[in-house]
């Protein structure tokens, strides 16, 4: 296929779709499937078959639409009508609704209002196709302007031009670090090496995060297109998508998308009849959070133990098999096609300060609407929690939001109006991270939260360096003592010291950022720690406080001895 | 051979291009403690005891991995670094079972010597004391996991010097263990050449010669150097 033929095919596909009298989109990503989307789809297909003599109805399984807590979701699309989105579908209800649409009296049961803030207040650029196309169907992606950016890059841009455009857009890495992507690509482009590699990081190990899974499951071709553009821009001929082992569906869809793109001449040898060739392979993780760290990830791709190695040398000089390599998050790659297709100005126009474009967040925890949202950088936390998320269930008060998973921190209620961007979040003691956003109400105990994340880091520490391997265990034990009532204030001093030690001496980001949840909860909720320690009380009523400090026992014993009451009773 | 000059602890010192800070410091008589580093093996960067301050860089750097460059100003013994070193040694002492009084290398142990030198007279953290097994299946040597600090010197010696690749680390985090042949008893290993190099490289009492009792296990500190020199002479 070349560019002209691609355009011709897109035109045909669009025509076909626009003449289709009724299209039904069933969200079939992991959350909706687990809520029963499979049966809903079968029911819809049965109804469509019943009516097939009269009208043709196309039932499509799509990726994630976003409001996951309302699943299974069904969208009905008819020319001349606005999209109608239905929530909490059952097979019976879905059948009834489709039949209604086909007989011109669509029922309003479970219909989501067209101006539902959760959907209306988002700016969907990376997620533009999610929930709108069948991720396993290349034609759907093509009809949505898919691979137009790759064609344009190969046809109209020099590799340097692509890097410059990415740089101009102000795009920064969405995997956590926020390193400027254009700059990273320039480094790789200029690096001397026989072979170069492009790696997409889809490891996503943070608890509570599912942005990357949703993107891989809902729009795999977009990631492939972004990677191919990166390959062209940097001179790489081989790419790897590293998918977390717990995401079999994402891996399968990425796999299928790669095969389909290869068959259509959009990937592989001489892409779109240009001299550029690029192959992509999928690599599966084996369940280690640390394998999201870029050096550990590369070790894992090469079949070695997934353990970080010190940087420098950075992957851009010494990456996979010692060759220059660029690693980006899958969401970062998802941002690339629109930059080339619509120009870097579009992305640069959104956002605030040095944080440009949009960010996908996985909104979860104690908030009414759980799900996937894409908002401009710089949106306030208040807007996200109360406007988009609909507030806290049961009218409870907002207490804190946790961003960035185990590497991030908590933001307290006084910072509800803080802008969510890289610099500001860092200033507040948290990080943007990959986009996990856990909302907590007054019913949450912050010590318990810190303990949960430390438990995670302790489990996931690779064990290479001593401060992280042994430090996480000691920190966890102390936090556990705070929540069972047996901690002392001296221990708190040791805890804070350990936090600084790990931050300054750990080998990789896991150990260096593991203290963040502790430090940020101490920063905003020190009272709560002290209430546990001094008053033996959990203000949120979560911790059971069944123990007392060993030293207290000794103190009490001394008092009894002094009082001459060593009668052994009531101990 | 090009030379670089730099300041270490405000002293002007020189080294060769490509040398690490650790090497330049040691050649100039400035001591930086290490446990996982061993001259002749690839640096590992795991023990984090050799962290130093480099002026103008926000983060601490591991001296065993950082190249000495012209004009750097390095500090190796600030209060903060000493505090971190003490804490790391305490963490290591608390992590497994380091009861020196009944240890085969008592008096010849690098961890013990370092603790003494840093003034670690008590440990502020919980002694974890996991009940780990000993592997005495090998004919001449024993492996006591309770004394292991996971420095991986044995692992690197076995793969880089002996080329047998018997040792590896299994598990992760606090459950990491040194294992032979993908987790077989050492005595059942089919790759171990019985050379004993790993035993000479171990900084603590984890690897030892059978038959040694408390304090009797003394290591040949120059073993690795001797091997390297002989290899060089015979042109291998
Ligand atoms: C412990 C740890 C875990 C990480 N996990 C992820 C991850 O799951 N996904 C990801 O994209 N980046 C992760 N990163 C960040 C990567 O190392 C790397 O910075 C990122 O993939 C670069 O891509 P970007 O420039 O597009 O952000 C992790 C880093 C650390 C230290
Ligand atoms: S900081 Fe933790 S995860 Fe990272 S290398 Fe050290 S032990 Fe491994």
Confidence of residue B1 (pLDDT cuts 50, 70, 90): low
Chain B residues with a Cβ under 8 Å from any Cβ in chain A = 44-48, 51, 59-60, 62, 65, 80, 83-84, 87-88, 91-92, 94-95, 124-126, 128, 149-150, 168-169, 171-176
For residue A325, tell me if it sits in a domain. Answer: yes
Q: What percent of chain B has pLDDT over 70?
A: 99
Inter-chain touch B88–A459, beta carbons under 8 Å: no
Residue A555 has pLDDT above 80, yes or no: no
For residue A502, tell me if it sits in a domain. Answer: yes
Residue A566 has pLDDT above 60, yes or no: no
Sequence-ordered list of residues with C-beta below 8 angstroms from that of A231, at least 6 positions apart, any chain: A198, A237, A238, A239, A276, A278
Integer Cα distance of A351 and A337 in angstroms: 18
Asked if residue A320 and residue A208 are part of one domain, the reply reads yes
pLDDT at A80: 81
- Output A149 or B235, whichever has higher pLDDT: A149
Secondary structure, 3-state, A124-135: CCCCCCCCCCCC
* Count, residues in chain A: 571
Confidence of residue A295 (pLDDT cuts 50, 70, 90): very high
Max Cα–Cα distance, chain B, nearest Å? 53
Nearest ligand to the CA of A407 is 1
- Per-residue pLDDT, averaged over A59-88, amounts to 89
Specify the pTM: 0.92
- Per-residue pLDDT, averaged over B101-125, amounts to 94
Secondary structure, 3-state, A231-247: HHHHCCCEEEEEECCCC
Tell me the Cα Rg of chain B.
Answer: 19
- Per-residue pLDDT, averaged over A35-39, amounts to 93
Of A297, A300, A462, A467, the residue with max ligand 2 atoms within 8 A of its CB, to mutate for a pocket test, comes to A462
| Nearest CA residue ID for atom 6, ligand 2 | A465
Integer Cα distance of A231 and A348 in angstroms: 23
Among B49, B91, B123, B175, which would you mutate to test the A interface (most chain A Cβ atoms within 10 Å of its Cβ)?
B91
Phi then psi for residue B10, to 5 deg, are 65, 10
Q: Which fold has domain B3-77?
A: Ubiquitin-like (UB roll) (3.10.20)
> Which CATH number does the domain housing residue A480 bear?
1.20.1440.230
**How many separate domains does chain A show?**
4
For residue A5, tell me if it sits in a domain. Answer: no
The β-bridge partners of B16 are B3
Residue B235 has pLDDT above 80, yes or no: no
Asked if residue A508 and residue A362 are part of one domain, the reply reads no
pLDDT at A54: 81
Asked if residue A426 and residue A277 are part of one domain, the reply reads no
- Per-residue pLDDT, averaged over B80-107, amounts to 95
| Nearest CA residue ID for atom 10, ligand 1 | A175
Evaluate: CB of A328 within 6 angstroms of ligand 1: yes
pLDDT at A194: 86
Q: What percent of chain A has pLDDT over 70?
A: 99
Residue B177 has pLDDT above 80, yes or no: yes
Domain with CATH 3.10.20.740 in chain B: 3-77
Asked if residue A322 and residue A175 are part of one domain, the reply reads yes
Confidence of residue A79 (pLDDT cuts 50, 70, 90): confident
pLDDT at A62: 93
| Chain B residues touching A467 at Cβ < 8 A | 48, 87-88, 91
Asked if residue A156 and residue A106 are part of one domain, the reply reads no
Asked if residue A539 and residue A492 are part of one domain, the reply reads yes
Asked if residue A374 and residue A321 are part of one domain, the reply reads no
For residue A366, tell me if it sits in a domain. Answer: yes
Residue B234 has pLDDT above 90, yes or no: no
DSSP-derived secondary structure for A83-143: -EEE-S--HHHHHHHHHHHHTT----TTBPPTT-HHHHT---STTTTTTTS-TT-HHHHHH
Asked if residue A252 and residue A161 are part of one domain, the reply reads yes
Estimate to the nearest angstrom the gap between the alpha carbon of A257 and the chain centroid.
Answer: 20
Among B87, B88, B124, which would you mutate to test the A interface (most chain A Cβ atoms within 10 Å of its Cβ)?
B87
Evaluate: CB of A290 within 6 angstroms of ligand 1: yes
pLDDT at A85: 92
| Among candidate residues A88, A83, A110, the one with its CA nearest the CA of residue A31 | A88
| B58-74 pLDDT per residue, tens | 999 999 999 999 999 99
Nearest ligand to the CA of A205 is 1
- Per-residue pLDDT, averaged over A308-316, amounts to 91
Confidence of residue A569 (pLDDT cuts 50, 70, 90): low
Sheet containing A74-77: order of strands:
A57-62, A22-27, A74-77, A84-86
Asked if residue A228 and residue A275 are part of one domain, the reply reads yes
Confidence of residue B232 (pLDDT cuts 50, 70, 90): confident
Integer Cα distance of B161 and B180 in angstroms: 16
Residue B236 has pLDDT above 60, yes or no: no
For residue A91, tell me if it sits in a domain. Answer: yes
pLDDT at A559: 77
Residue A313 has pLDDT above 80, yes or no: yes
For residue A127, tell me if it sits in a domain. Answer: no
Nearest ligand to the CA of A468 is 2
For residue A306, tell me if it sits in a domain. Answer: yes
> Which CATH number does the domain housing residue A375 bear?
3.10.20.600
Nearest-by-Cβ selection for B95 from A465, A470, A497 = A470
Contact of B149 with B112, CB cutoff 8 Å? no
Q: Which two tokens stand for residue A296?
A: 């550990």
Nearest-by-Cβ selection for B45 from A310, A463, A498 = A310
Sequence-ordered list of residues with C-beta below 8 angstroms from that of A165, at least 6 positions apart, any chain: A157, A182, A339, A340, A343, A344
Residue A82 has pLDDT above 90, yes or no: no
- What is the β-pairing status of strands A358-365 and A436-441? parallel
- Output A102 or B80, whichever has higher pLDDT: B80
Domain with CATH 3.30.70.20 in chain B: 96-234
Confidence of residue A567 (pLDDT cuts 50, 70, 90): low
Asked if residue A222 and residue A324 are part of one domain, the reply reads yes
* A463/B contact by beta carbon, under 8 A: yes
Q: Which amino acids bring their CB within 6 angstroms of ligand 2? A: A 290, 308, 461-465, 468-469, 506-508, 510-511
For residue A302, tell me if it sits in a domain. Answer: yes
Integer Cα distance of B62 and A512 in angstroms: 14
Nearest-by-Cβ selection for A458 from B60, B174, B176 = B174
B96-234 CATH choice from 3.40.50.970, 3.30.70.20, 3.40.50.1100, 1.10.490.10 = 3.30.70.20
Confidence of residue A570 (pLDDT cuts 50, 70, 90): very low
Mean of all residue pLDDT scores within chain A: 92
Full domain range(s) for residue A342: 145-347
pLDDT at A560: 72
Integer Cα distance of A354 and A348 in angstroms: 10
Contact of A420 with A380, CB cutoff 8 Å? yes
Residue A316 has pLDDT above 70, yes or no: yes
Confidence of residue A109 (pLDDT cuts 50, 70, 90): confident
Inter-chain touch B59–A504, beta carbons under 8 Å: yes
| A191-231 pLDDT per residue, tens | 998 899 999 999 998 888 999 999 999 999 999 999 999 99
Inter-chain touch B88–A507, beta carbons under 8 Å: no
| Chain B residues touching A463 at Cβ < 8 A | 150, 169, 171-176
- Per-residue pLDDT, averaged over A333-338, amounts to 97
The β-bridge partners of A97 are none
pLDDT at A547: 86
Lowest mean pLDDT among A113-122, A158-167, A425-434, A544-553: A544-553
Handedness of CA A314, A319, A323, A328 (dihedral sign): negative
Q: Which two tokens stand for residue A459?
A: 């489990």
Contact of A475 with A506, CB cutoff 8 Å? no
> Which CATH number does the domain housing residue A314 bear?
3.40.50.11540
Distances (CA, A) of A534 to A486, A499, A529, A531, A556: 10, 21, 9, 5, 16
pLDDT at A163: 97
pLDDT at A571: 42
DSSP-derived secondary structure for B5-28: EEEETTEEEEEETT-BHHHHHHHT
Asked if residue A547 and residue A400 are part of one domain, the reply reads no
Chain B nearest CA to A167, separation (Å): 26
Sequence-ordered list of residues with C-beta below 8 angstroms from that of A129, at least 6 positions apart, any chain: A63, A140, A141, A144, A146, A218, A219, A222
Asked if residue A314 and residue A237 are part of one domain, the reply reads yes
């Amino acid at each position: 296929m070349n560019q002209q033929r691609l355009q011709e095919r897109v035109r045909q596909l669009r025509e076909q779709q626009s003449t289709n009298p009724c299209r039904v989109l069933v969200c079939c990503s992991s959350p909706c499937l687990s809520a029963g989307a499979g049966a809903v789809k079968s029911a819809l297909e049965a109804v469509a078959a019943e009516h097939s003599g009269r009208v043709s109805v196309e039932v499509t399984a799509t990726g994630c639409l976003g409001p996951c807590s309302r699943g299974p979701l069904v969208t009905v699309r008819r020319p001349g009508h606005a999209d109608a989105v239905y929530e909490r579908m059952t097979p019976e209800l879905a059948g009834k609704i489709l039949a209604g649409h086909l007989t011109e009296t669509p029922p309003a049961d479970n219909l989501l209002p067209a101006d539902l803030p959760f959907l209306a207040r988002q700016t969907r650029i990376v997620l533009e196709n999610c929930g709108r196309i069948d991720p396993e169907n290349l034609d759907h992606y093509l009809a949505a302007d898919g691979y137009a950016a790759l064609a344009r890059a190969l046809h109209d841009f020099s590799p340097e031009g692509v890097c410059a455009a990415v740089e101009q857009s102000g795009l920064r890495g969405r995997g956590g670090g926020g390193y400027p992507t254009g700059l990273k690509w320039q480094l790789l482009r200029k690096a001397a090496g026989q072979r170069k590699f492009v790696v997409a990081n889809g490891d996503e190990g943070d608890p509570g995060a599912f942005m990357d899974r949703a993107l891989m499951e809902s729009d795999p071709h977009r990631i492939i297109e972004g990677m191919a553009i990166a390959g062209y821009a940097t001179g790489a001929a081989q790419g790897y998508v590293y998918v977390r082992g717990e995401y079999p569906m994402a891996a399968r869809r990425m796999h299928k998308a790669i095969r389909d793109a290869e068959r259509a001449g959009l990937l592989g040898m001489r892409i779109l009849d240009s001299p550029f060739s690029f192959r992509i392979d999928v690599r599966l993780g084996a369940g280690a959070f640390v394998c999201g760290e870029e050096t550990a990830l590369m070790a894992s791709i090469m079949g070695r133990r997934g353990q970080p190695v010190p940087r420098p040398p950075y992957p851009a000089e010494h990456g996979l098999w010692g060759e220059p390599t660029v690693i980006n998050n899958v969401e970062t790659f998802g941002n690339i096609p629109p930059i080339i297709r619509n120009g870097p100005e579009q992305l640069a126009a959104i956002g605030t300060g040095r944080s440009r474009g949009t960010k996908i967040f996985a909104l979860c925890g104690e908030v009414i609407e759980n799900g996937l949202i894409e908002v401009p950088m710089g949106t306030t936390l208040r807007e996200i929690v109360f406007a988009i998320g609909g507030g806290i269930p049961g009218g409870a008060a907002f207490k804190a939001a946790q961003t960035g998973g185990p590497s991030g921190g908590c933001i307290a209620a006084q910072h509800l109006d803080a802008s969510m961007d890289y610099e500001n979040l860092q200033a507040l003691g948290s990080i943007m991270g990959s986009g996990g956003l856990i909302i907590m109400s007054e019913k949450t105990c912050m010590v318990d939260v810190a303990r949960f994340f430390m438990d995670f880091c302790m489990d996931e520490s690779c064990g290479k360096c001593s401060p992280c391997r042994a430090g996480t265990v000691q920190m966890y034990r102390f936090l556990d003592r705070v929540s069972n009532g047996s901690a002392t204030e001296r221990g708190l001093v040791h805890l804070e010291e350990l936090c600084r030690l790990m931050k300054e001496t750990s080998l990789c980001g896991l150990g260096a950022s593991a203290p963040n949840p502790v430090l940020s909860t101490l920063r905003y909720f020190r009272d709560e720690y002290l209430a546990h320690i001094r008053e033996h009380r959990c203000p949120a009523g979560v911790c059971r406080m069944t123990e007392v400090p060993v030293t207290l026992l000794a103190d009490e014993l001394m008092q009894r001895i002094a009082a001459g009451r060593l009668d052994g009773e009531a101990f | 051979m090009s030379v670089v000059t730099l300041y270490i602890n405000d002293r002007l010192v020189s080294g060769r291009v490509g040398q690490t800070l650790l090497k330049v410091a040691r050649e100039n008589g400035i001591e930086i403690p290490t446990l996982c580093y061993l001259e002749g093996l690839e640096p590992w960067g795991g023990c984090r005891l050799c962290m130093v301050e480099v002026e103008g860089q926000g983060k601490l750097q591991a001296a065993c991995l950082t190249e000495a460059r012209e004009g750097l100003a390095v500090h190796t013994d600030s209060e903060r670094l000493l505090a971190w070193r003490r804490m790391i040694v305490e963490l290591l002492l608390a992590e497994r079972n380091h009861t020196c009084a009944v240890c085969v290398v008592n008096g010849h142990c690098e961890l013990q010597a370092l603790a003494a030198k840093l003034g670690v007279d008590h440990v502020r953290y919980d002694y974890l004391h996991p009940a780990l097994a000993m592997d005495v299946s090998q004919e001449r040597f024993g492996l006591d996991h309770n004394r292991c600090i996971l420095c991986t010197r044995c692992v690197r010696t076995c793969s880089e010097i002996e080329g047998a690749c018997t040792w590896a680390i299994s598990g992760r985090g606090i459950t990491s263990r040194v294992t032979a042949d993908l987790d077989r008893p050492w005595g059942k290993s089919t790759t171990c050449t019985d050379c004993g190099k790993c035993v000479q490289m171990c900084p603590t009492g984890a690897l030892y010669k059978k038959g040694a009792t408390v304090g009797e296990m003394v290591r040949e500190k120059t073993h690795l150097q001797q091997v390297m020199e002989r290899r060089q002479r015979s042109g291998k």
